[in-house]
Structure 1
């Protein structure tokens, strides 16, 4: 390969590194917006997503009002009594509330010592496991790289060190990218 063709190939790959993530991000966002917009068959593009957003916001408002809150609690009680629905509903609700609820769970990044020379980054999701008679253990979520799945481990508290001042979003991005993303300096 000549000097000029090496340059062209190098420029192509640099361009690909910029275009591919941008195109995939735009593609995913486009299809999510299109899916949400098509939930309600409204002839005006974008109106369906606005109606869905407004409806979800209104339901959230009703769930917080003193008068209507008991109705939502009653609906949840009924859902908890249905065997399969109970498992699905509570799992999805717990996962959603870990990210957006009052009880956020992925906001305590930690380093877990797995052996003398191996540690992993993760998130402490439960500090108190006394309900299962394990006062010395904490629950740690360890996400997989290049995947949004992960494992929950119960490890001795002594093997866990909280990363003070670390940004949870950056730590998650670092883990999911397989350690390729850059981490900024922790805030002190």
Structure 2
């Protein structure tokens, strides 16, 4: 007589296969989380270096370009030359003679119809990006937007000034930047009373991470949760 296969053994095989599949999936996702940021960072960095080298190296005189007399190309040499050139340019324009030359060049550009608009726009953008003044974002907050009951994360810039402060009813009007997800470089400029802004403890960097990750990454919250858990463990051990 043929023996019937044990039903328990048949049930254990699919379970073991599912468990092994889940483990492989978890291992793959864990490896992806570790490798993807590192790989993308290296790729973007290398792309920037190559882009600057391809632009700067042709401008270097042949006798000063090491690629002409070395058996291998030196990556990053153009980037170093560009950085040194910008430092020298900043040093030269910091004195009276340099400022005079810059003002003379700008006066010529301002007289050109299309070029003047392009130059002013680009200059304003770069001055805003590299500026280290008090107008930079220093706080993160929450406001009810686009209606009551819905909360949006904003970066607080400065108090409203000039005509905006004069025409908007109420006191202590502040300007905030409402970023979009997952690209925080675009968004909306809003003016509202400071009393309607709920200031958060997180830094601007953590706020940007929260926006870019669409709410999946909240470092400060995780840190505080870990601290609360540690305090609860200490209290439970003492009791």
Per the normalisation by structure 2, the TM-score is 0.65
Equivalence for 2:182: 146
Q: CA deviation at 1:176?
A: 2.1
Equivalence for 2:126: 96
- 1:1-188 correspondence runs (5 A): 2=17, 3-41=19-57, 42=65, 43=67, 44-45=73-74, 46-103=76-133, 104-114=135-145, 115-132=147-164, 133-136=166-169, 137-157=173-193, 158-163=195-200, 166-184=202-220
1:25 and 1:88, CA in 2 relative to 1: closer, same or farther beyond 3 A? Answer: same
The number of residues matched between the two structures is 185
**Structure 1 Cα separation of the partners of residues 88 and 51 of structure 2:** 21
Q: 1:79–1:85: 8 Å Cα contact kept in structure 2?
A: yes
**Structure 2 Cα separation of the partners of residues 106 and 170 of structure 1:** 12
Q: Which moved more, 1:7-16 or 1:150-159?
A: 150-159
1:131 and 1:150, CA in 2 relative to 1: closer, same or farther beyond 3 A? Answer: same
Q: CA deviation at 1:148?
A: 4.2
**Structure 2 Cα separation of the partners of residues 94 and 105 of structure 1:** 14
| SS of the residue 1:178 aligns to | coil
Give CA-to-partner distance per residue, 1:38-65, whole Å, 9 cap, x none.
Answer: 2222424222111001011111122222
Q: CA deviation at 1:30?
A: 0.9
Q: CA deviation at 1:94?
A: 2.9
Q: CA deviation at 1:28?
A: 0.8
Which blocks of at least 5 consecutive residues in structure 1 are unaligned? none
Which blocks of at least 5 consecutive residues in structure 2 are unaligned? 1-13, 58-64, 68-72, 224-239
The alignment's C-alpha RMSD in Å is 2.7
Q: Which has the larger radius of gyration?
A: 2
Per the normalisation by structure 1, the TM-score is 0.80
**Structure 2 Cα separation of the partners of residues 166 and 80 of structure 1:** 43
1:55 and 1:69, CA in 2 relative to 1: closer, same or farther beyond 3 A? Answer: same
Q: CA deviation at 1:16?
A: 1.2
1:141 and 1:181, CA in 2 relative to 1: closer, same or farther beyond 3 A? Answer: same
Q: CA deviation at 1:23?
A: 0.9
Q: 1:125–1:140: 8 Å Cα contact kept in structure 2?
A: yes
| SS of the residue 1:67 aligns to | helix
